[in-house]
């Protein structure tokens, strides 16, 4: 039995809503915020792949490669930021970011 496109879009929208909730309900841990952003990127990629398959067009798959590249760069920059924050503050609490203005 082949799944309908609607079910794939439903799964993608559920992942997107979970990522939005992860960003807005979290107030302290920056790692959870970064993971929520990555989940958001993956749900957007899933939408591109779904519509690329639905319309038989390769353009959506090309966008996925660009988004994955931006996502990898965002992850590398955020991990470097976390390492610097942990080195300076010995803490990765997001509420302590105002101490990094030095």
pTM score:
0.83
Q: CA-to-CA distance for 48 and 96, rounded, in angstroms?
A: 37
- The mean pLDDT of 91-97, rounded to a whole number, is 76
Domain definitions of the chain by residue range: 5-101
Q: What is the pLDDT of residues 6-50, one digit of tens each?
A: 999 999 999 999 999 999 998 788 889 999 999 999 999 999 999
Q: CA-to-CA distance for 9 and 70, rounded, in angstroms?
A: 23
The CA distances from residue 32 to 39, 46, 63, 69, 88, in Å, are 10, 21, 25, 21, 20
List the beta strands (DSSP E) in 1-102: none
The answer on pLDDT for 82 being more than 90 is no
Does domain 5-101 fall under CATH 1.10.287.3510? My reply is yes
């Amino acid at each position: 039995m082949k799944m309908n496109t609607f079910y794939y879009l439903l799964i993608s929208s559920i992942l997107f809503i979970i990522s939005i909730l992860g960003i807005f309900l979290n107030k302290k841990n920056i790692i959870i915020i970064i993971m929520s952003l990555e989940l958001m990127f993956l749900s957007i990629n899933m939408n591109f792949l779904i519509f690329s398959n639905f319309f038989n067009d390769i353009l959506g798959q090309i966008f996925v490669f660009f988004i994955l590249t931006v996502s990898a760069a965002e992850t590398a920059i955020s991990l470097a930021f976390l390492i610097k924050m942990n080195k300076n503050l010995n803490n990765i609490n997001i509420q302590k970011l105002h101490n990094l203005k030095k």
